[in-house]
Amino acid sequence: MTQFPDGMVWLVGAGPGDPELLTRKAEWLICAASVVFFDALVGPGVLDLIPAGVRTVSVGKRSGRHSKDQASIDRLIVAAALAGERVVRLKGGDPAIFGRATEELDACRAAGVSVAICPGVTAASAAAASLGCSLTLRGMARKLVFATAHVRAGAAPELDWQALADPDATLAIYMGKAAAAEVSRQLQAHGLAEDTPVAIVENASLPGEQSLSTRLDLLPLAAKACSGSGPALLLIGTALQPVPSRAQQCSHLALSTISRHTA
């Protein structure tokens, strides 16, 4: 039985956006909270599930448009818990995947505040589901790597490209659209085949969902063609082989090699 006494903090995964992908536990927690601090990536349909009597505070962070820095968020949730509130810290996807969960766990523990995590469906799972493919492939894609290509403006991502350029792996690259050209170049330079299947999925599970399936050498073109401003994930690897039977509309950029799928 889930415990949510006054003065406790739950880090809750909101999933990728579709409110039906919220766990039952997450829904129970946001209804039992007295205050919910939520991120910019929490889907509007999920926010609609928060009862009117629960106070909501946006602490939204989108790349380049930080409304609150991490230390301020840590202080806010700790202060609310010490004031006796039942605090939900609602985060897009899974709180433990590129969700700054460690900072918030540490801040709570340092202040003697009881804290727990409710997992959520991560963007990579939602993106694979919207493509209708598996992230692993028996005997071929034996590893699944969660990586982020997020960088400060103007800098290049510092990743272990040699380790990532692994033909046996599926790469799920979060915050990677802006770095798509660099990702494509580095992976090829480190030996990954130019025709390795790649997909970009934007707004996975949300109404504006769209995806482009292509190959590694055409990833920069595909990233330009995927022009929306929603969150986007790159998936790279043999497991992403496009399903030939799925009806797909081809992009004008490279008719036979980039295919677009819109929800």
What distance in Å separates the CA atoms of residue 36 and residue 166, rounded to the nearest whole number? Answer: 41
Of the residues 8, 18, 39, 94, only one is catalytic, namely 39
Shortest Cβ distance from residue 40 to ligand SAH (Å)? 9
Count of residues near ligand SAH by CB under 6 A:
25
Catalytic residue list contains 1: no
Site string for ligand SAH, 175-194 (x = CB under 6 A): x-------------------
Does residue 127 touch ligand SAH according to CB under 6 A? Answer: yes
Which of 9, 11, 17, 30 touches ligand SAH by CB under 6 A? Answer: 17
What distance in Å separates the CA atoms of residue 24 and residue 38, rounded to the nearest whole number? Answer: 18
Per-residue exposure over 179-201, b if at least 16 CB sit within 10 Å of its own CB, e if not: bbebbbbbbbeeebeeebbbbbb
Does residue 97 touch ligand SAH according to CB under 6 A? Answer: yes
Which of 45, 93, 237, 242 touches ligand SAH by CB under 6 A? Answer: 93
Structure tokens at 221: 């073109």
Catalytic residue list contains 39: yes
Does residue 108 touch ligand SAH according to CB under 6 A? Answer: no
Does residue 45 touch ligand SAH according to CB under 6 A? Answer: no
Four-residue CA torsion sign, 67, 71, 74, 80: negative
Asked if 187 contacts 161 with a C-beta cutoff of 8 angstroms, the reply is yes
Catalytic residue list contains 217: no
Four-residue CA torsion sign, 90, 93, 94, 97: negative
Does residue 213 touch ligand SAH according to CB under 6 A? Answer: no
Structure tokens at 8: 């406790």
What distance in Å separates the CA atoms of residue 22 and residue 27, rounded to the nearest whole number? Answer: 7
What distance in Å separates the CA atoms of residue 74 and residue 216, rounded to the nearest whole number? Answer: 39
Site string for ligand SAH, 131-170 (x = CB under 6 A): ----------------------------------------
Of the residues 8, 94, 175, 177, only one is catalytic, namely 175
Which of 92, 157, 237, 242 touches ligand SAH by CB under 6 A? Answer: 92
Count the neighbouring beta carbons within 10 Å of the beta carbon of residue 25: 15
Which of 73, 232, 235, 236 touches ligand SAH by CB under 6 A? Answer: 232
What distance in Å separates the CA atoms of residue 42 and residue 221, rounded to the nearest whole number? Answer: 29
Residues at the site binding ligand SAH, with contacts judged by CB under 6 A: 16-17, 41, 91-94, 97-99, 122-123, 126-127, 174-175, 201-206, 231-233
- Give the active site residues: 39, 61, 175
